[in-house]
Chains A and B, each alone.
Chain A
Amino acid sequence: MDALLSAAGTVLVPDVLLVIVAAAIYGLAIGSVPGLTATMGTALIVPLTFFLDPVPAIGAIVAATSMAIFAGDIPGALLRIPGTPASAAYTDEAFRMREKGQVELALGVNLVCSVIGGLVGVAILIFAAPQIARFSLGFSSYEYFWLALLGLSCAVIVSTGPAVKGVLSLSIGLMLSTIGIDVVMGIRRFTFGDTELIGGISIIPVLIGMFAITEILRKSADPQQPGEVPRLRMRAMMHGVGGTIWRYKGGVARSSVLGSVIGALPGAGADIASWIAFALAKRFSKTPEKFGTGHPEGIVSASSANNASLSGAYVPSLVFGIPGDTITAILIGVLLMKGITPGPMVFVMDAGLVNAIFVVFILANLIMLPLGLLAILGSRRLLVLPQRALFPVILLFCVIGAFAANNTVFDIWVMLILGLLAFVLEENDFPLAPMILALILGPLIEENFMKSIIKSDGQALEFFARPIGGTLGVVTLLVWVALAIVSLRKARRPQTERGIA
């Protein structure tokens, strides 16, 4: 507790607070404009965080993403268009509430549940992360290798689409991470004689390409113009929210904890958390027949879960350096740029930083209440922004942002090529999360793999010799076997599968 208070001292200074509030407003805007996702929003601020100190840089990402995940609910309830994919699970339900004249109640519930879910998630992060870190201090290269591999396998399992495509997406990410100087002997690999590639592919243009350019391409082809937004009454937004949430308090508690756990699984983030929380709310409901008619019970659960998952994702990211979702994958990239390697040692060496992240999370969730209220009231103006004009401006920002980190036009090429590649991959049902996770984890996996295999003199059994490493190894192999069996079964029955689809 003392540590948290002293960390609060580093966060509650004017410059950092200013950055956090600015990022929060930015996040609200990103989230409430349909088509701009929280991940894309994060990728867009990375070039700016490059110029900030670690605490405000992370604060900006935490604040912007928390707000964006909440704000995605606003156009969902008002226009039936989810602002971010994390709100898609309950967009219909919220819109039905609007049709029943309860739009203020729906939005009020979204806001308060987002705050509660976020705070529960932070509490879990604060208690769980240091414990796991202490336990994992004794990990050697074998454990790290297996852990990272298990994380990547998880990313394939939770991704949508066929497992083969997840594995291929993973292999692209790992291959891209091997470009540049290698860790074993320091020779140049796959640089094609290009001096710009010696340092490897830099992460910022890749992120912008994969998460912003793809979205701009899709939205430029088919811009949507949002419809009419109803006038909102402030008082109606306060009224009845408390009672509704209290009635479904069990759902809030269950979904917040569930959201954190799902967030912690590598590759699964806020969108998966909200789908699962919504489905479970329906299953455990006393009145499941009311779902789909504008019933707040599912909304309460799912909007708690998606905000809880954000902080849950920081557990494996900070403790092992293994990102829990695409947003934390970006965050790890930012930390590495700042010369901080996430892992259990961070809790010993940079304890101040870790505690500052906790404080930022608490703060971000608390200021969400007033700022979120303002965002709901101001959404009438924001939602009529013409998308046709918005996307060219965002594209310019992407181009300059990609250039800014290393001041080289080569990075604009990287952004463009990776963006086009990611677009084609996504059009063909390849999940992108495994690719970005693999790109970030690639150097960690290779280094630990090479260290381990050189130590063991090429003996594969050494990888299983230590108790924890061995267990992790066996679990990873079991996961692979399960994946292989499931895909083979599916492949054998392509007819029936297409029947369902």
Chain B
Amino acid sequence: MKFNDAILGGVFVVVSLLILLEARTFPTLPDQPLGPGTFPTIIAGVMLLGGAALILSGLRSRAPIMALAGWIRTPGGVRRMLAVPAFAVAYILLAKPIGFPIVVPVLLLLMLLNNGVRPLASVLTAAGASLAIWLLFARFLMVPLPLGILTEVIY
């Protein structure tokens, strides 16, 4: 997913302008123009210049607006890749209400199957890895991993 430099440069220019606007609203020290906005203003200025330079070089290069990398053409590559953010988002949304011990083995199993691992190996890996990580973080390091609906069952 390679974008033309002009597009990325445009993103940087827009972001830096937003930062500059926001930084103007910060208070300053009494009798001095300096304050919490000084440093972000300088950085945003650098970002603005860099973005502008990128726009120029992008326009001059005549590269395509967007070029796809080789991995997009490998069969199932996009599907396997989208599964990565999907896994994280699903954990964020589901772990608290339902609980780690139920959500994680299921998510991991789906992820492994999606990656083309054989079903039996997937079940064993998902169960083993979930248990190992539960023991390491919840038991050994005392991290309060969410129990969800299991809270009432256990306590």
Interface size on B, residues (CB 8 A): 69
Interface residues of A in 166-197 (CB under 8 A from B): 167-168, 171-172, 174-175, 178, 182, 184-185, 187, 189-190
A449 to B27 alpha-carbon distance, docked (Å): 18
Q: Is the CB of B36 within 8 A of A184?
A: yes
A413 to B92 alpha-carbon distance, docked (Å): 8
B151 within 8 A of A: no
B145 within 8 A of A: yes
- Chain A: which residue is nearest B16 at the CB level? A171
Task: Give chain B residues whose Cβ lies under 8 Å from the Cβ of A487.
Answer: 53
A213 within 8 A of B: yes
A220 to B54 alpha-carbon distance, docked (Å): 30
- Chain A: which residue is nearest B53 at the CB level? A164
Interface size on A, residues (CB 8 A): 59
Q: Is the CB of B1 within 8 A of A220?
A: no
B88 partner, pick from A171, A221, A416, beta carbons under 8 A: A416
Q: Is the CB of B1 within 8 A of A427?
A: yes
Interface residues of A in 409-465 (CB under 8 A from B): 409, 412-413, 415-416, 420, 424, 427-428, 446, 449-450, 453-454, 458
Q: Which of A272-280, A301-309, A383-391, A471-479 contacts B (4 or more CB under 8 A)?
A: A383-391
Q: Is the CB of B121 within 8 A of A389?
A: yes
Q: Is the CB of B34 within 8 A of A164?
A: no
Q: Given A185-B29, A222-B74, A407-B143, decide whether A395 and B47 contact each other with a Cβ distance below 8 A.
A: no
Q: Can you report 22 A-B residue pairs in the complex whose CB atoms are below 8 A from each other?
A: A164-B53, A164-B57, A167-B50, A185-B29, A213-B84, A220-B80, A220-B84, A221-B77, A221-B78, A391-B115, A392-B111, A392-B112, A400-B133, A400-B137, A407-B143, A409-B96, A413-B92, A428-B5, A450-B34, A454-B34, A458-B33, A494-B60
- A binding-site residues for B, Cβ under 8 Å: 48, 51, 162, 164-165, 167-168, 171-172, 174-175, 178, 182, 184-185, 187, 189-190, 213, 216-218, 220-223, 386, 388-389, 391-393, 395-397, 399-400, 403-404, 407, 409, 412-413, 415-416, 420, 424, 427-428, 446, 449-450, 453-454, 458, 487, 491, 494, 498
- B binding-site residues for A, Cβ under 8 Å: 1-3, 5, 8, 12, 19, 22, 26-27, 29, 32-36, 38-40, 43-44, 46-47, 50-51, 53-54, 56-57, 60-61, 69-72, 74, 77-78, 80-81, 83-85, 87-89, 91-92, 95-96, 104, 107-108, 111-112, 115-117, 121-122, 125, 129-130, 133, 137, 141, 143-145
Known: A182-B26, A217-B84, A404-B137. 10 other contacts (CB 8 A): A168-B47, A168-B50, A171-B47, A187-B26, A396-B104, A416-B85, A427-B69, A454-B32, A487-B53, A494-B60
